[in-house]
Amino acid sequence: MPKDIHPPYEQTTITCACGAVYHVGSTKKNIRVDVCGNCHPVYTGARITTRTETGGRIERFRKKYGLE
- Helix, strand, or coil (residue 67): coil
Rounded mean pLDDT, 7-15: 94
Domain holding 29, by residue range, is 10-64
CATH of the domain at 40: 4.10.80
Q: Is the pTM higher than 0.85?
A: no
When pLDDT is cut at 50, 70 and 90, the band that residue 64 belongs to is confident
- Helix, strand, or coil (residue 5): coil
More confident residue, 42 or 55: 42
pLDDT at 41 over 90: no
- The size of the chain, in residues, is 68
pLDDT at 51 over 60: no
List helix spans (H) across the chain.
Answer: 41-44, 51-54, 57-64
Q: How many domains does the chain divide into? A: 1
Task: Report if residue 57 sits inside a domain.
Answer: yes
Closest residue by Cα to residue 16 from 8, 6, 27, 24: 24
Task: Report if residue 40 sits inside a domain.
Answer: yes
